[in-house]
Chain A
Amino acid sequence: EDQVTQSPEALRLQEGESSSLNCSYTVSGLRGLFWYRQDPGKGPEFLFTLYSAGEEKEKERLKATLTKKESFLHITAPKPEDSATYLCAATGGGNKLTFGTGTQLKVEL
């Protein structure tokens, strides 16, 4: 059975304090590893898709990386507007996209 586990459940950072969020996955024949951002009362907003180990993608202060067992979302010098829940999801193909329960990030001034 496919599994996606995110850690930590919650993270509080000071503005400018870099950190990483972890996504561990067990998916047969990974076809894609996705990162989404979700603000309160909103739907998940697509950030990145990673397809193979060693791949990296960047967007502003965010960088996503992928190994054969994990993905990391690195946040460099975060700002309060980066506060959100970050969701990780993985698929081995077909229509089955397995989501983790998310990391709730709070960035304080």
Chain B
Amino acid sequence: NAGVTQTPKFQVLKTGQSMTLQCAQDMNHNSMYWYRQDPGMGLRLIYYSASEGTTDKGEVPNGYNVSRLNKREFSLRLESAAPSQTSVYFCASSEAPGYGNTIYFGEGSWLTVV
């Protein structure tokens, strides 16, 4: 059981380049999330998808776009990367939003923008 799988694991981008982080879950969860983790900041929500066909902004959405491709897959796109987007990105999923449902995380994607 793979759980939440993210690709790529590591990526170096030049300022202004674009890229997409891919995420897939095999737990038949309805909700999926993208977080970023920075030193001293804790995990912060970028975007989420409460169910297939819906997406909403989280705490720090600027500079990002997302696509819920189907129930399993949720991608995060950086259209024009900036050094401030250097971070570790985590995809996550849960059965449904709210109600204290546990959120399960992927292994992370390390992104450096130079």
Contact = CB atoms under 8 A, between A and B. Distances in A.
Interface in B42-82: 42-45, 48, 50, 56, 58
Interface in A28-67: 31-32, 34, 36, 41-46, 49, 51
A93 interface: yes
Nearest to B96: A95
Interface stretch (A13-21, A70-78, A97-105): A97-105
Contacts of A34: 102-103
A101 B90 contact: no
Given A46-B102, A49-B100, A97 B45 contact: yes
Contact of B40 (A32, A93, A101): A101
Interface residues of B, number: 26
Contacts of B48: 95
A94 B97 contact: yes
Given A34-B102, A49-B100, A44 B90 contact: yes
A95 B56 contact: yes
Nearest to A33: B100
A95 B30 CA distance: 12
B25 interface: no
Given A46-B102, A46-B104, A49-B102, A100 B42 contact: yes
A95 B43 contact: no
B101 to A, nearest CB: 8
Contact of B106 (A4, A36, A43, A102): A43
B81 to A, nearest CB: 22
